[in-house]
Amino acid sequence: MMPPRAAILGLAGPVLAEEERRFFAESDPLGFILFKRNCETPAQLKRLVDDLRASVGRGDAPVLIDQEGGRVARLGAPHWRQPPAAATFATLAEQDLALGGEAARLNARLMAADLAAVGINVDCAPVLDLPVPGAHDVIGQRAHGRTPDMVATLGRAVCEGLLEGGVLPVIKHMPGHGRATVDTHHALPVVATGEAELRRTDFAPFHALNDMPWGMSAHVVYSAIDADRPATTSPQVIDRVIRGHIGFGGVLVTDDLSMQALSGTVGDRAAAALAAGCDVALHCNGKMDEMRSVMAVAPPLGEASLARLERGQQLLHDPHPLDPAQGLARLEALMSGRAAAEAWQALHAGHSPHSPLRYA
């Protein structure tokens, strides 16, 4: 039996259209990614996830979503809890590391419960990027701290909470997006920092979590390593840094190929990323013509990629029992103490919308 193809695709709306169904059945992508446009109610979303898996004939096909918390949460009110931003836990952890870590882990466990209930089995979280003053606010409150150790500690707490709930985490954006001065949705950032400094700072959280099952590449040029290509399409960055120095052994998926940081056609981008060493091409906007271009160049998954997928699955186990009401009550108790109250106040007091470190 032929392995699935090395791509993850989006779709246009909350119901799988017949054209999409036929296309997915014919092209057999590895999996799918969902956005707010696809998520209306729990019952509708569960049907959609089931229909997507049925279209490719694989009940375990990865279904991804970006459920970080804060402003990046595809599931929210009125049907789902709105999780706090990562920055909330970072500020709390600056005052009480154990408290911040427990809160981050429990919050992730509660997110996993919401995702698993509708069949979503991969969460594109946590963000391990280390923002610096002057960087673009595309990371901002999504960051888990201002030091490599803090980001690694809270990032691992999030990963453990997701895994305990039966959901695979995706560490992003490898090997570090925090220094980007432009938003990769619109332009290509170039980071001129030397490799030694990058290893000490930006790369460090990813090295600390190199045992995680999935990682997402950054559409960022690191000129000290490859001045011509962003990490997503750079064999030097992927081989020397992500697989080499960082030691990441999991599934490497691209960031969204429809983002304007990348040049060329969507098909060109997918081909370049897969040739550079990414395991899977990610295309999110659900536009059929672009998806056809991606699938025209996406080969069946190779043996190394299949082995990485299997190793990731082995990290999962039956979800730890959780009473959602008790879990939420415990999280609220953690967040209602003096340290948490001060953290919340600091997060929201006196910061401009464009402050790169709004939680401090």
Query: What CA–CA distance (Å, rounded) separates 259 from 263?
Result: 9
Q: Which residue has the higher pLDDT, 140 or 21?
A: 21
* Mean pLDDT of the 60-69 span: 97
- List 60, 149, 185, 239, catalytic entry: 185
- What are the helix (H) ranges across 33-172? 42-56, 86-95, 97-117, 148-164
CATH of the domain at 192: 3.20.20.300
The amino acid occupying position 120 is I
Q: Is residue 32 assigned to a domain?
A: yes
Active site (annotated) includes residue 219: no
**Locus of tokens 């089931």:** 50
Mean pLDDT confidence for 332-359: 51
The pLDDT value given to residue 209: 98
What are the E-state strand segments in 188-256? 190-191, 214-217, 221-222, 251-253
Is the pLDDT at 138 greater than 80? The verdict is yes
Q: Is 68 inside any structural domain?
A: yes
Position 340 scores a pLDDT of 54
Number of structural domains in the chain: 1
- Grade residue 345 by pLDDT with cuts at 50, 70 and 90: low
Tell the residue number behind the tokens 């997507």, with chain if given. Answer: 52
Residue 99 lies in a domain: yes
Each residue's pLDDT tens digit, 348-359: 554 333 232 222
Mean pLDDT of 151-156: 98
Residue 185 annotated in active site: yes
Per annotation, catalytic residue among 28, 66, 114, 255? 255
Q: Which domain holds residue 119?
A: 5-348
Number of Cβ atoms within 10 Å of the Cβ of 78 = 6
Sequence-distant (≥ 6) Cβ neighbours of residue 298 within 8 angstroms: 5, 6, 7, 27, 29, 270, 274, 281
Give 86-121 pLDDT, tens digit per residue: 999 999 999 999 999 999 999 999 999 999 999 999
Length of the chain: 360
In a domain, residue 357? The reply is no
Contact (CB, 8 A) for 63 and 120: yes
pLDDT beyond 90 at 46: yes
76 vs 79: CA distance, rounded Å: 6
Q: Tens digits of per-residue pLDDT, 308-329? A: 999 999 998 777 788 989 999 9
